[in-house]
């Protein structure tokens, strides 16, 4: 084949599945669920009763774990894992890159007599010491002080991971520096869940609920992704190294027909999905839905919601599993937010709520006026939090890749707003005007007296343009990128809502002076005040429209278009105070995050820029001049023979080739500009100079794609990648 592209097309056309379809009758999914998890039921069977009970108290109500318990748990865990074929154990942790990291250790230790015995002590279970020196720590820990510890997270169960070459016991852990600072994504999630619980208890107490049952935040993340044949992937250095195409003209047929969305799932993709689901079931991940997404080649997977911490670990495992299984099926799973320009991007909708064993979901509108009052208060607290910390919510979803998606007319804009739906908006409007006419037939809505009109479930689905939507019994944060860890967004939501609940509880405690009779009256006042001050964040219309951008500006809402605009929010005094007040992130921990995110932004754009130069110069330019040469020789040959040749195409080609060459040089000098040692300045340079220079190269390359002879074009086209299955 004359090009990797043509070889790829041929390989894709001749693809045959390598393994037999799965048999779900022989291996029923019900038996698979949780089979590789050291779950409460396994623990119950294998641990002495008091040990089991102590452990469950820690898991369920956050009680401190007795160190003596750890040895017994470790021993039972080891036996269970070895029965499942495990040879190693790994402390799994979640560094600030958003990836998953693991350090493997063998169970075997020399027994001093020439043999070896399997060993796994409580100490090894509780704490590990990976050489974490190569993980970014944002100045918290200098490289020479490489020590960082992984600490067992009791609330996230250990599991067995099967690989082609062995089986490993995986233990989810937090990753901290020797001074106790969080170097990871998990630690702040756990801290923020604690903060939320503390404040939620005060609210529940106001409503007479004093059982103290742990209130946890819950999360259900919907993951969008693209699948593509791996032959195409390997023929595209941009996809391979940056996870997105840096070149590619829009195909004549895009997603205009909407014929892919919820359409029949192609066989090869279905086989992949079934296997993904089976693997996830084994790990106790409750996957529930699957369907095609808007763009051709785009799909979605969503689990049932779980406690935020567990959901976060499971989300990481889901991404890893998607990638691994895709490979087995000769495909590649792209979780990048915008793999294909001009085609729908991928997000991760994070559904969020909070609840407890005794009160259920606290965002479920209740059936009695009293329950409704509590629901309205919590809802109002969310509205206040999102308005007050809109910049923070934007900052925690900021990345160079998500910048391509937010505001790109198929994803929520960079402006944070809340969709409440008509009924709930109407209720809050009435509250704002102090209980005017009600939507309840013939009534007036008074908090604590009237019942809410029935709120439609999943109302949010009718408005996909909102970044933060109430969907009947939860909020859905839709600005999160498909490649991001959900930890950051969850930490932000938990903490800002904890702060808001704190504010409300303090106000109501003071105003009522502990007299429950006064609660509803004071609550009505508080809700009115919150809606007057923060109601401008509510918007139910089309978030994609220009009118909204204008209206949002009038309302004074932030519109932080890029990562460079958004990340400085993390330096704000209000944000520093928020995170330190609730013990979620110290100032130093917060600073380190800003530094790491800026660094990642600069690094990713740097890689993309260099790739743009490489592909443009070594693949596109040569193809273009070959074709230019074809045209030129045709022209001169015809002239010799006395024929006329219309040189229009040759002229266009010549001018495009020249522009391509010039733009490559321009990009090269943008890359070469002396690096500033100030990260923010560097990031600005990437955003304002490097990115536009990359886009310029791309525009000429994409124009050339429309002229150069098809058999000379080196890169698989959008058409081929998105439509061939």
Smaller CB separation from ligand ADP, 204 or 701: 204
Q: What is the C-alpha to C-alpha distance for residues 422 and 455, in angstroms, rounded to an integer?
A: 9
| Lookup: tokens for 645 | 């040749």
How far apart, in Å, are the Cα atoms of 440 and each of 421, 452, 485, 524, 687? Answer: 16, 8, 42, 17, 51
Q: How far is the CB of 300 from Mg ion (least distance, A)?
A: 9
Q: How far is the CB of 510 from Mg ion (least distance, A)?
A: 39
| Of residues 505, 477, 471, 503, the one with CA closest to residue 491 | 477
| Of residues 414, 431, 429, the one with CA closest to residue 553 | 414
Q: What is the C-alpha to C-alpha distance for residues 85 and 32, in angstroms, rounded to an integer?
A: 17
- CA 72 centroid distance within chain: 36
474 binds, among ligand ADP, Mg ion, none (CB under 5 to 8 A by kind): ligand ADP
Q: How far is the CB of 50 from ligand ADP (least distance, A)?
A: 33
Q: How far is the CB of 459 from Mg ion (least distance, A)?
A: 12
Is 493 among the residues that bind ligand ADP (CB under 6 A)?
no
Q: What is the C-alpha to C-alpha distance for residues 405 and 298, in angstroms, rounded to an integer?
A: 15
Q: How far is the CB of 543 from ligand ADP (least distance, A)?
A: 16
- Contact between 466 and 412 under an 8 Å Cβ cutoff? The reply is yes
Question: Interface mask (CB under 6 A) for ligand ADP, residues 321-360, using x and -?
Answer: ----------------------------x-xxx-------
Is 338 among the residues that bind Mg ion (CB under 5 A)?
no
How far apart, in Å, are the Cα atoms of 443 and each of 226, 379, 424? Answer: 50, 22, 16
Is 474 among the residues that bind ligand ADP (CB under 6 A)?
yes
Smaller CB separation from ligand ADP, 224 or 403: 224
219 binds, among ligand ADP, Mg ion, none (CB under 5 to 8 A by kind): ligand ADP
- CA 136 centroid distance within chain: 19
- Contact between 475 and 468 under an 8 Å Cβ cutoff? The reply is yes
Is 361 among the residues that bind ligand ADP (CB under 6 A)?
yes
- Integer-rounded Cα Rg, in Å, for the chain is 28
Is 222 among the residues that bind ligand ADP (CB under 6 A)?
yes
458 binds, among Mg ion, ligand ADP, none (CB under 5 to 8 A by kind): ligand ADP
Question: Interface mask (CB under 6 A) for ligand ADP, residues 245-284, using x and -?
Answer: ----------------------------------------
- Contact between 663 and 693 under an 8 Å Cβ cutoff? The reply is yes
Smaller CB separation from Mg ion, 44 or 457: 457
* Residue number, nearest CB to ligand ADP: 220
- Contact between 630 and 674 under an 8 Å Cβ cutoff? The reply is no
- Contact between 311 and 305 under an 8 Å Cβ cutoff? The reply is yes
Interface region with ligand ADP, contact rule CB under 6 A, candidates 19-27, 101-109, 213-221, 545-553 = 213-221
Interface region with Mg ion, contact rule CB under 5 A, candidates 101-109, 117-125, 348-356, 664-672 = 348-356
Size of the site for ligand ADP (CB under 6 A): 19
| Of residues 473, 441, 443, the one with CA closest to residue 371 | 473
- Contact between 612 and 667 under an 8 Å Cβ cutoff? The reply is yes
Contacting ligand ADP (CB under 6 A), which of 171, 276, 302, 332?
Answer: 302
Is 348 among the residues that bind Mg ion (CB under 5 A)?
no
Is 411 among the residues that bind ligand ADP (CB under 6 A)?
no
Smaller CB separation from ligand ADP, 22 or 304: 304
Q: How far is the CB of 473 from ligand ADP (least distance, A)?
A: 6
Burial class of 367 by CB neighbour count within 10 A (0 to 12, 13 to 18, 19+) = exposed
**In the complex, which residues of this chain contact Mg ion (CB under 5 A)?**
349
**In the complex, which residues of this chain contact ligand ADP (CB under 6 A)?**
218-220, 222, 289, 302-305, 349, 351-353, 361, 458, 461, 473-474, 476
């Amino acid at each position: 084949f004359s090009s990797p592209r043509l070889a790829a097309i041929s390989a894709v056309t001749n693809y045959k599945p390598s393994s037999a379809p799965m048999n779900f009758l022989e291996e029923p999914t019900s038996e698979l669920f949780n089979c590789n998890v050291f779950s409460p039921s396994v623990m119950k069977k294998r641990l002495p009763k008091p040990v089991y009970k102590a452990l469950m108290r820690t898991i369920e109500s956050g009680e401190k774990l007795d160190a003596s318990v750890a040895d017994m748990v470790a021993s039972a865990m080891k036996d269970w894992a070895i029965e499942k074929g495990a040879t190693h154990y790994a402390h799994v942790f979640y560094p600030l890159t958003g990836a998953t990291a693991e350090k493997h250790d063998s169970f075997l230790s020399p027994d001093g007599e020439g043999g070896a015995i399997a060993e796994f002590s409580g100490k090894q279970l509780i704490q590990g010491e990976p050489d974490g020196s190569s993980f970014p720590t944002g100045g918290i820990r200098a490289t020479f002080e490489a020590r960082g510890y992984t600490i067992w997270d009791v609330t996230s169960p250990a599991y067995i991971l099967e690989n082609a070459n062995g089986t490993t016991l995986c233990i989810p852990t937090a990753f901290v520096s020797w001074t106790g600072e969080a170097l990871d994504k998990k630690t702040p999630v756990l801290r923020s869940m604690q903060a939320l619980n503390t404040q939620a208890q005060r609210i529940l107490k106001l409503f007479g609920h004093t059982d103290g049952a742990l209130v946890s935040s819950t999360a259900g993340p919907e993951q969008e992704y693209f699948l593509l044949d791996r032959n195409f992937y390997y023929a595209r250095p941009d996809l391979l190294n940056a996870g997105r195409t840096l070149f590619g003209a829009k195909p004549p047929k895009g997603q205009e027909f909407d014929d892919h969305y919820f359409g029949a799932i192609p066989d090869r993709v279905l086989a992949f999905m079934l296997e993904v689901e089976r693997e996830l079931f084994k790990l106790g991940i409750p996957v529930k839905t699957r369907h095609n997404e808007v763009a051709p080649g785009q799909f979605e997977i969503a689990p049932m919601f779980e406690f935020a911490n567990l959901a976060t670990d499971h989300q990481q495992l889901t991404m890893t599993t998607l990638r691994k299984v895709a490979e087995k099926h000769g495909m590649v799973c792209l979780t990048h937010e915008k793999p294909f320009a001009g085609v729908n991007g991928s997000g991760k909708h994070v559904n969020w709520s909070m609840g407890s064993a005794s009160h259920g979901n606290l965002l479920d509108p209740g059936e009695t006026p009293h329950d409704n009052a509590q629901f309205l208060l919590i809802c109002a607290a969310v509205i206040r939090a999102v308005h007050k910390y809109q910049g923070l919510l934007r900052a925690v979803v900021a990345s160079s890749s998500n910048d391509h998606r937010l505001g790109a007319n198929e994803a929520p804009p960079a402006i944070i707003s809340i969709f409440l739906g008509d009924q709930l908006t109407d209720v809050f409007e009435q509250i704002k005007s102090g209980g005017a006419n009600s939507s309840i037939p013939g009534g007036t809505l008074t908090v604590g007296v009237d019942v809410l009109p029935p709120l439609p479930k999943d109302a949010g689905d009718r408005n996909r343009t909102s970044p933060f939507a109430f969907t009947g019994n939860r909020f859905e944060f839709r600005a999160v990128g498909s490649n991001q860890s959900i930890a950051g967004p969850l930490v932000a939501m938990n903490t800002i809502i904890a702060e808001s609940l704190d504010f409300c509880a303090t106000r109501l405690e003071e105003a009522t002076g502990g007299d429950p009779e006064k609660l509803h009256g004071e609550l009505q006042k508080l809700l009115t005040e919150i809606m007057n001050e923060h109601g401008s964040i509510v918007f139910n219309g089309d978030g994609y429209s220009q009118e909204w951008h204008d209206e949002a500006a009038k309302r004074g809402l932030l519109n932080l278009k890029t990562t460079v605009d958004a990340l400085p929010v993390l330096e704000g005094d209000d944000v520093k105070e928020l995170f330190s007040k609730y013990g979620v992130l110290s100032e130093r921990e917060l600073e380190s995050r800003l530094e790491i995110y800026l660094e990642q932004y600069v690094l990713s754009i740097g890689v993309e820029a260099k790739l743009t130069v490489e592909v443009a110069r070594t693949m596109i330019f040569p193809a273009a001049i070959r074709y230019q040469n074809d045209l030129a020789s045709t022209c001169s040959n015809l002239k010799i023979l006395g024929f006329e040749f219309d040189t229009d195409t040759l002229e266009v080609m010549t001018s495009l080739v020249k522009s391509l060459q010039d733009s490559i040089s321009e990009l090269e000098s943008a890359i070469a500009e002396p690096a500033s040692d100030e990260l923010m300045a560097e990031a600005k340079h990437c955003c304002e100079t490097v990115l536009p220079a990359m886009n310029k190269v791309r525009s000429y390359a994409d124009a050339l794609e429309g002229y150069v002879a098809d058999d000379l074009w080196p890169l698989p086209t959008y058409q081929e990648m998105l439509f061939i299955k």
